[in-house]
Amino acid sequence: MGQFFQGIGNFFGGMPWQGIFNVLRIIFIVLDALLAGGFIFSVIKGWGMRVPLEKELNGSEGTEEGEKTAVFPKEKKHVFNTTAFKRHWTDVEQKASAGTAQSLHLAIIAADNLADQALKDMKLPGEHMADRLQRLTEEDFNQLEDLWRAHKLRNELVHTPGFELEKGEAEEMLRVYESFLRTMRALK
């Protein structure tokens, strides 16, 4: 057994390690140069895509930081599945027609969900409806403040135990949601 290890030691001891190290070093230098070149090439190609992506998300090109412009110009409205929206809106109207506090609450929640679905269908980014609403301007929907108020009241309904909403205010909120859906052409 000792001769075996001595033979292995002689084998590795006789290897030209310095030459092998130099060859490996050259190979890795060439690979590093290729990877660096590939990275620079990718950045240059990707940089050209930055402007169209920015334009799509912000709705315009060349606006100053923080300035909001219309996300959906009047001539380029999103196409919705109006049949599905109409069916869901009919459900909202049926809930509201019962006239009880509970049915109005359910109608408002359903209308808010429908408005949020329209915003999602328009590909507005955001985790919550409020994030998507922040992307809109008065140019997109001239009753934007009313829509915000309706959404905030919906949140109160959902998150505040015992929150009471007057029938007239609930009906006004439903009209705002309907107006939004019609303006965005989700409802005809």
Per residue, the 3-state secondary structure of the chain, as one string, reads: CHHHHHHHHHHHHCCCHHHHHHHHHHHHHHHHHHHHHHHHHHHHHHHHHHHHHHHHHHCCCCCCCCCCCCCCCCCCCCCCCHHHHHHHHHHHHHHHHCCCHHHHHHHHHHHHHHHHHHHHHCCCCCCCHHHHHCCCCCCCCCCHHHHHHHHHHHHHHHHCCCCCCCHHHHHHHHHHHHHHHHHCCCCC
pTM for the whole structure: 0.60
pLDDT tens sequence across 140-153: 778 889 999 999 99
Question: pLDDT tens for residues 49-64?
Answer: 654 444 444 444 444 4
CATH code of 82-183, in short, is: 1.20.120
- At residue 59, the pLDDT reads 44
